[in-house]
Amino acid sequence: MKNHTALLGQLNQYIVELAQQYVHLKQETLYNKFDPMLFSENFQTVDFYLNEMQQCFQQLQRLSEQDQAQFAFFTEKLVAQYTALQDAIRLLQTPQTAVEKKPVLNKRDQLRQQIELLPPREKLVKYYEALHALNEKLAQQEIELSLATAEQKRVIEPQIASTKQRRERCLSAIELLEEYLAFKDSLENE
């Protein structure tokens, strides 16, 4: 009986603290879609969701110790409601500018993004230019490796492996794009 009562007291304390912490947001509408098992409606005020949590807590209080399965169910539901509501309120408080900021791209990522916007044939030309640059880079790295000391080789070998991976991805992209263009040409010739 003590565990039952102690748990009820702790859950009630969580609800009260949550309501007090966000009393200034009670009339704010949350534009979250909640699991229907947690809350009966979406796009309601913080106060609405706090009331639903209070109703769930009242159902818990009505249960006797013999109703262990129901007690466990409503306890889990109340904890899930608490977590979901707290997360939704945090999102509400997140400044929109922080959410909408675009990541700053480095030059290689900017170039990659620009290439992706090109028409297929122009993109293929850029892929071949990239392949040529990677082949030159790989040749230069292999020359450096042949002239390097044992310590320098430990630095250069992973760089070569990385360049080879990039080269393979480039070759795969070229192959895929060539197949696409061949398919497109065959459709146009029919």
Q: What is the pLDDT of residues 122-173, one digit of tens each?
A: 988 999 999 999 999 999 999 999 999 999 999 999 999 999 999 998 999 8
* CA-based max dimension of the chain: 82
The total number of structural domains that make up the chain: 2
Q: Which domain holds residue 24?
A: 2-100
- Asked whether residue 88 falls in the same domain as residue 116, the answer is no
25 DSSP 8-state letter: G
pTM tops 0.75: no
CA distance 25 to 89: 8
- Residue-wise pLDDT tens digits, 107-123: 777 877 787 788 888 98
Same domain (yes/no): 96, 164: no
State the chain's mean pLDDT as an integer.
85
Note whether 138 and 88 are same-domain residues: no
Q: Are residues 45 and 74 in the same domain?
A: yes
* Res 176: pLDDT: 87
